[in-house]
Amino acid sequence: MNARPVVGVLALQGAFAAHADRLASLGSAVVEVRRPDHLAGIDGIVLPGGESTAMSNLLKSSGLGDDLASRLRDGLPVFGTCAGMILLAEEILDGREDQVSFGVLPIAVRRNGYGRQIDSFECDLALAGRSESFHAVFIRAPKIERIDPEVEVLATHDDVPVLVRRGTAMASSFHPELTGDPGIHQMFLDVVEHNVSNTHVR
Ligand code: GLN
């Protein structure tokens, strides 16, 4: 059997601790990524929710942004949730001019796109590939306003994609780490493990 995957969680700001706990409970080794050297040896990375503009500032000041961009270009599996989805989007609407975008997913997202009245809400989503619904928590969530047809839609809310995947990159508008259901993290770990077994012999 393969060694267990090593998954990084970007830990500059925001909701990283719950992701780390969930990934550890599913059997992966977890590295909190704060500096460029923390990227060595990880098989995948989660970009958590929080505040994408603050994360952008910290990615620049820590020197992590460029190294992470290059690992992502090389195909490091990534799962961006909420603010993390914003960091992965090719186009950010209502963003700050200078905010970091890794451009990994050909989607356009609007920051806080679900509007003021419903800044936060919860709902049950139908997930592609499983029969039980997933209880999702949206907090000042980004809304996908454009999506390239090559991006797979794994869940929608009111016909808008909220969980998407292209190749080894996944993103959700909501916070899957805040509810007890490990299904979506397991989906990401399956992507990571599949990528590890395809790219190198361990
Ligand atoms: N609105 C936040 C942003 O623009 C994202 C909110 C979240 O991650 N819960 O970064």
Residue 69: CATH number of its domain? 3.40.50.880
- Please identify which residue in the block is written with the tokens 């961006």: 80
Tell me 139's DSSP state: E
Residue 86 alpha carbon, nearest atom of ligand 1: 10
C-beta separation of 32 from 9 below 8 A:
yes
pLDDT recorded at residue 3: 76
User: Domain for residue 31, yes or no?
Assistant: yes
User: Domain for residue 26, yes or no?
Assistant: yes
Distance from residue 179's CA to the centre of ligand 1 (Å): 18
Number of domains present in the structure of the chain:
1
pLDDT recorded at residue 62: 93
In angstroms, the first-to-last Cα distance of the chain is 10
User: Domain for residue 1, yes or no?
Assistant: no
φ, ψ at 164 (rounded to 5°) = -135, 160
User: Domain for residue 64, yes or no?
Assistant: yes
Distance from residue 91's CA to the centre of ligand 1 (Å): 15
Nearest alpha carbon to residue 48 among 87, 77, 75: 87
Burial of 85 (0-12, 13-18, 19+ CB in 10 A): buried
User: Domain for residue 18, yes or no?
Assistant: yes
pLDDT recorded at residue 2: 56
pTM of the model: 0.96
**What 3-state DSSP class applies to 60?**
helix
Catalytic residue status for 177: yes
User: Domain for residue 84, yes or no?
Assistant: yes
User: Domain for residue 28, yes or no?
Assistant: yes
Buried b (16+ CB within 10 A) or exposed e, 46-81: bbbbbbbbebbbbbeebebbebbbebbeeebbbbbb
- Among 140, 144, 172, 173, the mutation site with the greatest number of ligand 1 atoms within 8 A of its Cβ is 140
List the chain residues with pLDDT less than 50: 1, 202
Residues with CB under 6 A from ligand 1: 49-52, 82-83, 86, 111-112, 139-140
Residue 15 alpha carbon, nearest atom of ligand 1: 8
Distance from residue 7's CA to the centre of ligand 1 (Å): 22
User: Domain for residue 36, yes or no?
Assistant: yes
Structural domain span for residue 140: 6-201
The residues near 115 (Cβ < 8 Å, ≥ 6 apart) are none
